[in-house]
Amino acid sequence: MTSNARLRVGRYELGRTLGEGSYAKVKFARNVETGANVAIKILDKETVLRHKMITQIKREISTMKLIKHPNVIRLCEVMASKTKIYLVLELVTGGELFNKIANCGRFKEDEARKYFQQLINAVDYCHSRGVCHRDLKPENLLLDSNGVLKVSDFGLSALPQQIREDGLLHTTCGTPNYVAPEVIHNKGYDGAKADLWSCGVILFVLMAGYMPFDDSNLMSLYKKIFKADFSCPSWFSTSAKKLIKRILDPNPQTRITIAEVIENEWFKKGYCPPTFETADVNLDDVDNIFNESGDSQNLVAEQREVRPALMNAFELISTSQGLNLGTLFEKQMGLVKRETSFTSKLPAAEILKKIEEAAKPLGFNTEKRNYKLKLQGEKCGRKGPLAIATEVFEVAPSLNMVKLRKAKGDTLEFNMFYNNIATGLKDVV
């Protein structure tokens, strides 16, 4: 495999991409001074300015600095170069809770309760600090190596200063299936009550393996949410059903509160309150990342080091949770991961050529650079066109690892895509 440039930012060496959204990428990184592994969220300043997102980014950073809790992703430090903003985050290697649901189908009640307790601990703490998350869903709940739940992605969070004179929030945001009816009504809502509704949907998903409110037609979906039109499966215990129905109350005034949830008998079974230290937080440096004068202490240099495109041991270990050396195409109870990996003894260029050949008949345009391949769907799916990022890493001289990751679009459509290309890749895996 030919040489590939690896970026170093300050004392961090950047590795593979862990995930990406419309405005940011998250990369694996290693502190070259301590050897510690972290995740770094990278935002382009020009994009942030062009889309008038300065306030939102400052809010996300301020939120994460305010919150120091064992069930919330920790922000280690903030850096900026002349062109980029870098958020150095705690690296969580256990994957998304979404993936665990995908593998298990659903959880037994005791395990679902354990995760729900941790989720409520985190959300209750955020609310005590004046922060509402506003986009709670399994994809934003990560697990560490010990299976401890960590809430992530505060890009849509709301701080107290966003509350209007009527004491309510007025921005419609979040993911439709998990959003409270009052948020959709767009007449103002209590962020804490809306967050609890999302927690109720998550609890249902953990125990049922599917969503309480689902419909391919958005208006039909909204009608179901407005009426709280759902039914609990027969395997839910009576006390779990009662709690879920009190959380998924379409009237926020009569909906159960988090304080009442914590006192609920079903919730309290095996409950361990979190222990942690609170620290004084200074938000003065949040403005520094947009300081163009060049004298900010957070301004870091970006250096490219030419190195072979090898997957280092620390990167390989970090992928082991989702690494399946036997097969790429596994069925997972109708739900899927947003990223998958497989190994191949074929040369990297040949692997990418085979993927291109398999993807083009399915209506995907391809763009190749070095050993990365972007697949862009021509059709507009449920969440826009599907985009897939593919990258080949050299693990050993005669062994490559291939990672396919959904960059944009719907997760289930990504599942259909890689099931469809299975036949064309059988001689590659």
Binding-site residue ranges for ATP: 41
Instruction: Tell me the two tokens of residue 301.
Output: 């240099």
Residue type for position 283: L
Give catalytic status of residue 135 as yes or no. yes
C-beta separation of 203 from 247 below 8 A: yes
C-beta separation of 352 from 392 below 8 A: yes
C-beta separation of 255 from 197 below 8 A: yes
Residue type for position 268: K
> What span, in angstroms and rounded, lies between the C-alpha atoms of 75 and 62?
10
- Scanning the structure block, which residue is given the tokens 């942690």? 276
Catalytic residue among 135, 153, 190, 195: 135
Query: How does strand 37-44 pair with strand 75-80?
Result: unpaired
* Residues forming beta bridges with residue 375, ordered by sequence position: 366, 388
Q: Which residues are known binding-site members?
A: 41
> What span, in angstroms and rounded, lies between the C-alpha atoms of 278 and 292?
33
Those residues whose C-beta lies under 8 Å from the C-beta of residue 101, and which sit 6 or more positions away, are 107, 138, 205, 206, 209, 335
Catalytic residues: 135
